[in-house]
Each structure stands twice: as structure tokens, then as C-alpha cells.
């Protein structure tokens, strides 16, 4: 908002710059006048630095040069130094109180930086000085609406109409203010007057929207169709008809009209993307009206073939349904069209990650990290892709790079420590693995991923089991329904000879999803065997062997059968 307003202010300034230069009072100092003229010339040419130096010299020789103050204010504004800009404008106004433009410019700057109260005060002073100038009333009305001082805004509109008569602008503003106040009956009357005095597709649309909001579908449709009679290309009316049809559950009419709206390149692509996300996707239309939604997405894509928001929407949609190749192609094209746009890259990389296409993800992620070296979550995608591809050392290097550059206290730090611990363990370097686990636990000694993996790896080495038990106990207290944590703790209970506790926790692990893990089934069978529940133990070993023959449990089962026969 601020940037847009300042752009408007600069545009107005540029249009009046020559006139202001021409009206400067002649000064006694010839040097001051020369500096001023050259300064204005450099300003108009866009060389603000040189212009500022020249105008400062002009003002130094002639401290009463109000126009030089004005131009210096503009130069300060170009550097977003609004305090100095306002100070120069205040000085210009004090030197020439009759020049209302200086005060109006200050009011616009105050509006641009959100100081609406001060802007309103200046405009009111200008109105008091020149009550016949309607321009001030328009700007004051806008500020009053922003401040939600709606009654005073209506009063100011009335003064404009007294000066200039009722216009389409004032009538439309009155309608909008009444709608914001919830004075719907008065708003309806204002809209009807507007439609009677200034009939247009826009006024018909206003009435259509008003009646639609009151669930008077038939009247709403009449006004929307009237808008299209006046202008068949008035796209917003098609949107109004589509929404009315949707409310009526007339989906044939809805898709027919919404596609006209979505096919218009003039309509905002961001607004379309939000609408599709919030209305089409969220309402559950996709499974019921899949072909129609496909067409709807294609219409939108054809209207905005290079807009990144639409490309992400279309690509993600087709990737999510059964056109994954099409979706991935759209997302890849979006990234190629917008190589420096972070969201375009992250959308494509996210889908590659979801599909576990590591070989494709690695070069894209590596390039993205070069472009956005401070985007650590995107860098982690590269680390994960290396990890899943078996390039353990490359993954370690990426995590180490992230860890070196993370700001102190960054929330990713502990996760990096956890992942480095896992990676170093996978690389066979337990010393470094445990070192990074310890670093992570110094940040948060209750961090479950580290506690669990650290405990489990100690259990594999059959050492420091007391410490492992303490760490694992924390995880099951924190997440009592996590099958992985329950399995680790149950296995540690088994290793420390607490067979009944082991059975208890491993059984819980199975209840909460552990039946899908051959390792958990194997651990449970071991606990059952230790408790001499042989038949049940062999049942679970058999299930584990079927689930993952790669564990090589068949030999173990045979050995345990011989052992159980001896013990019976």
C-alpha cells in the first residue's frame, strides 16, 4: 500500500515539476538560481544524487527558496526518508504559506506511511482555507474510510455533492460506505439511485451482489444478466452468475459461467488461485466433478500461461490426481520460467521429494541452494536427497554447511544435530554420531528423535544400557502411542532382563502399528520366547519372516525351535 501510494505521489510530482520550477521567485543571488535550475534539470533526468547536491547549494545561498525545499523533499522521499521529506515540506510551507501543494504533498506522504490522523488534519486545514476545492474532500473521504470514521466520511461526501453535484463516483462511494456500516436497506436504495442515474454494468453488478448476499437468487440473476446485456464482455457478471448457480446447486450453470470468468486474462490470477483453493478444492468438488474441474483448471492456465501462482496451482492439482506427469511438467516449466522465484522452485522440489525422485531432485536442489544460500529448509531437501540416494558423505557435508551458517538459536539446529548423528552412525562413526546427539540434547534434553535413536544404537552395541533406558523412558512418556519409541523401550527392557516389562511395551508397540514392522515383531517374539511362551513367539517370528524375508529370521527360528525343545 505504501509503495503504491508513493508511486502515485511521484507521478503527480513529475507532472507538475516544470511548472513549479517556472514559478520560483527570482532571488537576489544569481548563483542560487543557477544551482536551482540545474538541480531541477538533474532531478527530472533521474540523477537524484547530483540534484540533491545542487539544490542544497541553492538553498545554502538562498535559505528562502521554498521550491528548493520542495524538491529536496522529493529526493528524500526517493530514499524512503520520510522524516526528512516532511521536514523539508514543513520548511517550504513556512516560507510560502500560500502554496497549498506543499501541505497536500505532506498529507499524501502521511497517508503513505499510515499516519492517517495527521493527513486528515492537514486536509481539514486545506478545506478550511479553500472550501470550494473538491479535490481535498475526495482525499479526506478516502482517509476517513481507512480510519473507519464512516459517519464523517458520509458527511464529507455530502459536501462534495453540494459543490459538484451527485456523480457516479460519490454515489458509488456512498453505497460502499453504507455497506460497510451494515446499513443494508439504505445501501440498497443508494444502489438503486446509482443504477437509475448512472446505469452501467458496474451498477447492475452491485445490485446483483447485494441481492445475492441476501439469498434473493432470482433478483440477483436479473441484475447480472442485465449487466451482460449492456456489456457481454463484462466478466465479473459471469462470476456473479456462477456463484448464484453454485448456491442453488446448479452445477451445470456454475461451471458454464465460472469458466468464462476464469478464461479472462484481465481478471487477477492471484484472486483466481485463491478462489479455486478455497471454493473448488475445499468444497470437495474434485471427486464428484473431476472432468469439469480439469477443464476449469485448464481454462485458468490458458488465461495465465506464465503466472507462477497459476502454474503452481495447476501443476500441484494435476500431480495430485492421476495426471502426475502432466503436473510435474507444469511445475518444471514454472521453475524454468521463473528460475529466481523461490516458491516456483520449492513447489517443484516438494513434489520430487514426495515422489522420492532423488536423482532428479539433487541437481535442482543443488542449484536452488546456490541461488538461495540462506534458505536452510531448501538446503535440507538436498541433504535428504543425498541421504536417500546413499550418498552419505554428501549429505553430511550439506548438514554441516547448514549448521555452520544457522543463526544462533535457530530452531533447525537441533534437527541438524539429530540428522548428523544418524548419518555418522550410518557411516560407521559412532563416536561422531554420539557427539552430535549430545550437542542436540544440550539444546533440548527432551527431544524425542535424538533420545530414541541414541538409545537404540546403544542397545545395538549392548553398552551403556542404563543411560539408554533413561533416554528411551522419556520418549514413551512424551509419546505413549508411538510404536517406534515403544519398541525401543521394550527392547531395552528385554536386554536388561525385564522380560515382563518388555512384553508389555512391545505389545503396545504392536497395537499402535507395530504389526507392520518385521523388526518389532521379531523383538516381541524374543520377549515371548524369554517368557517361555514358545508357540506365540514362533507365530510372531513366522509373521516377521513373511513380512521381511531379508532379515534372515528362518535360521534364527530353527535355532530357537531346537532350544525350546531342549527346555520343554
Look up cell 454515489; give the residue: 171
Cβ–Cβ contacts within 10 Å for residue 539, how many?
A: 14
Grid cell for residue 100: 497549498
Report percent pLDDT > 90 for the chain.
60
Q: What is the spatial distance between Cα 560 and Cα 550, in angstroms, rounded to a whole number?
A: 18
Contact 385, 368 (CB under 8 A): no
Cβ–Cβ contacts within 10 Å for residue 360, how many?
A: 15
Calculate the dihedral angle through the C-alpha atoms of 39, 40, 46, 51, rounding to the nearest 10 degrees.
20
pLDDT value for 162: 81
12-21, 124-133, 425-434, range with the lowest pLDDT: 12-21
Q: Is the pLDDT of residue 123 over 70?
A: yes
DSSP secondary structure of 351-415:
HHHHTT-HHHHHHHHHHHHHH-TT-HHHHHHHHHHHHHTT-HHHHHHHHHHHHHHSPTT-THHHH
Mean pLDDT, to the nearest integer, of 302-310? 96
Give CA angle at 149 (145, 153), nearest 5°.
Answer: 60
pLDDT band at 3 (very low <50, low <70, confident <90, very high): very low
What separation in angstroms does the CA of 416 have from each of 365, 387, 397, 466, 485? Answer: 18, 13, 11, 26, 20
Contact 63, 96 (CB under 8 A): no
Question: For 234-273, how does the pLDDT look when each residue is reduced to its tens digit (9 = 90+)?
Answer: 999 999 999 999 999 999 999 999 999 999 999 999 999 9
Report percent pLDDT > 70 for the chain.
94
Q: Is the pLDDT of residue 319 over 90?
A: yes
pLDDT value for 18: 43
Contact 107, 133 (CB under 8 A): no
pLDDT value for 254: 96
pLDDT value for 306: 96
Q: Tell me the pLDDT of the chain averaged across its residues.
A: 89
Grid cell for residue 539: 507365530
Three-state SS across 159-215?
HHHHHHCCCHHHHHHHHHHHHHCCCHHHHHHHHHHHHHHCCCHHHHHHHHHHHHHCC
pLDDT value for 124: 82
Greatest CA separation for the chain:
121
pLDDT value for 396: 97
SS3 65: coil
Q: What is the spatial distance between Cα 146 and Cα 114, in angstroms, rounded to a whole number?
A: 10
Q: Is the pLDDT of residue 20 over 50?
A: no
* 258/166: higher pLDDT: 258
Grid cell for residue 526: 524374543
Q: Is the pLDDT of residue 90 over 60?
A: yes
Question: For 178-195, how does the pLDDT look when each residue is reduced to its tens digit (9 = 90+)?
Answer: 888 888 888 888 888 888
> Which distant-in-sequence residues (6+ apart) come within 8 Å of 233 by Cβ?
none
Look up cell 521567485; give the residue: 25
Question: For 384-398, how does the pLDDT look when each residue is reduced to its tens digit (9 = 90+)?
Answer: 999 999 999 999 999
Look up cell 533521474; give the residue: 46
Domains and CATH numbers, the chain: 445-568 (1.25.40.10)
107-116, 338-347, 412-421, 459-468, range with the lowest pLDDT: 107-116
pTM (whole model) above 0.75: no
Number of DSSP helices (H) and strands (E) in the chain, helices first: 33, 0
Grid cell for residue 274: 485463491
Q: CB pairs under 8 A, 24+ apart, for 30-36? A: 31/57, 31/61, 32/57, 32/58, 32/59, 32/61, 32/62, 32/65, 33/58, 35/61, 36/65, 36/67, 36/68
Look up cell 503504491; give the residue: 4
pLDDT band at 568 (very low <50, low <70, confident <90, very high): low
Mean pLDDT, to the nearest integer, of 363-374? 95
Mean pLDDT, to the nearest integer, of 332-348? 95
Q: What is the spatial distance between Cα 126 and Cα 290, in angstroms, rounded to a whole number?
A: 60
Amino acid at each position: 500500500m505504501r509503495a503504491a501510494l508513493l508511486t502515485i505521489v511521484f507521478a503527480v510530482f513529475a507532472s507538475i515539476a516544470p511548472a513549479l520550477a517556472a514559478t520560483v521567485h527570482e532571488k537576489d543571488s544569481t548563483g542560487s538560481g543557477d544551482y536551482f535550475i540545474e538541480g531541477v534539470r538533474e532531478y527530472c533526468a533521474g540523477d537524484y544524487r547530483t540534484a540533491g547536491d545542487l539544490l542544497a547549494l541553492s538553498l545554502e545561498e538562498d535559505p528562502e527558496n521554498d521550491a528548493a525545499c520542495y524538491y529536496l523533499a522529493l529526493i528524500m522521499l526517493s530514499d524512503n526518508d520520510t522524516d526528512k521529506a516532511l521536514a523539508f515540506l514543513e520548511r517550504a510551507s513556512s516560507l510560502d504559506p500560500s502554496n497549498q501543494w506543499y501541505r497536500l504533498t505532506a498529507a499524501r506522504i502521511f497517508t503513505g506511511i499510515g499516519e492517517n490522523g495527521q493527513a486528515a488534519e492537514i486536509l481539514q486545514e486545506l478545506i478550511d482555507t479553500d472550501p470550494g476545492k473538491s479535490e481535498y474532500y475526495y482525499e479526506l473521504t478516502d482517509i476517513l474510510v481507512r480510519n473507519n470514521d464512516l459517519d464523517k466520511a458520509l458527511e464529507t461526501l455530502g459536501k462534495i455533492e453540494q459543490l459538484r453535484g451527485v456523480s457516479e463516483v460519490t454515489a458509488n462511494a456512498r453505497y460502499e460506505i453504507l455497506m460497510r456500516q451494515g446499513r443494508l436497506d439504505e445501501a440498497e436504495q443508494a444502489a438503486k439511485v446509482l443504477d437509475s442515474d448512472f446505469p452501467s454494468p458496474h451498477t447492475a453488478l452491485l445490485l446483483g451482489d447485494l441481492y445475492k448476499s441476501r439469498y434473493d437468487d432470482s433478483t440477483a440473476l436479473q441484475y447480472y444478466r442485465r449487466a451482460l446485456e449492456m456489456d457481454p464482455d463484462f466478466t465479473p457478471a459471469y462470476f456473479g452468475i456462477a456463484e448464484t448457480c453454485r448456491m442453488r446447486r446448479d452445477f451445470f450453470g456454475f461451471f458454464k459461467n465460472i469458466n468464462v470468468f476464469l478464461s479472462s486474462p484481465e481478471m487477477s490470477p492471484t484472486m483466481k488461485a485463491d478462489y479455486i483453493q478455497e471454493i473448488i478444492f475445499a468444497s470437495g468438488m474434485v471427486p464428484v466433478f473431476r472432468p469439469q474441474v480439469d477443464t476449469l483448471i485448464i481454462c485458468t492456465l490458458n488465461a495465465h500461461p506464465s503466472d507462477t501462482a497459476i502454474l503452481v496451482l495447476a501443476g500441484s492439482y494435476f500431480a495430485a490426481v492421476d495426471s502426475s506427469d502432466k503436473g510435474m511438467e507444469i511445475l518444471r516449466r514454472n521453475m524454468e520460467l521463473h528460475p529466481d522465484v523461490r516458491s516456483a522452485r520449492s513447489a517443484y522440489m516438494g513434489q520430487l521429494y514426495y515422489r522420492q525422485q532423488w536423482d532428479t531432485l539433487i541437481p535442482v536442489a543443488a542449484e536452488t541452494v546456490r541461488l538461495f544460500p540462506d534458505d536452510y529448509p531448501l538446503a535440507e531437501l538436498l541433504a535428504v536427497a543425498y541421504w536417500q540416494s546413499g550418498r552419505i558423505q554428501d549429505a553430511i557435508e550439506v548438514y554441516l554447511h547448514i549448521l555452520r551458517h544457522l543463526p544462533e538459536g535457530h530452531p533447525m539446529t537441533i534437527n541438524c544435530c539429530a540428522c548428523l548423528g544418524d548419518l555418522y552412525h550410518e557411516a560407521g562413526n559412532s563416536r561422531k554420531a554420539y557427539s552430535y546427539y549430545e550437542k542436540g540434547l544440550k539444546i533440548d534434553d527432551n527431544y524425542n528423535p535424538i533420545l530414541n535413536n541414541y538409545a537404540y544404537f546403544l542397545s545395538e552395541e549392548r553398552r551403556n544400557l542404563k543411560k539408554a533406558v533413561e533416554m528411551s523412558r522419556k520418549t514413551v512418556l512424551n509419546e505413549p502411542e508411538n510404536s517406534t519409541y515403544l519398541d525401543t523401550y521394550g527392547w531395552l527392557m528385554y536386554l536388561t532382563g525385564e522380560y515382563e516389562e518388555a512384553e508389555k511395551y512391545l505389545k503396545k508397540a504392536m497395537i499402535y502399528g507395530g504389526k507392520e514392522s518385521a523388526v518389532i515383531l521379531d523383538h516381541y517374539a524374543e520377549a515371548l520366547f524369554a517368557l517361555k511362551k514358545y508357540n506365540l513367539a514362533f507365530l510372531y517370528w513366522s509373521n516377521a519372516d513373511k513380512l521381511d524375508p531379508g532379515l534372515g529370521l528362518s535360521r534364527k527360528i530353527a535355532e530357537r525351535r531346537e532350544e525350546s525343545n531342549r527346555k520343554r
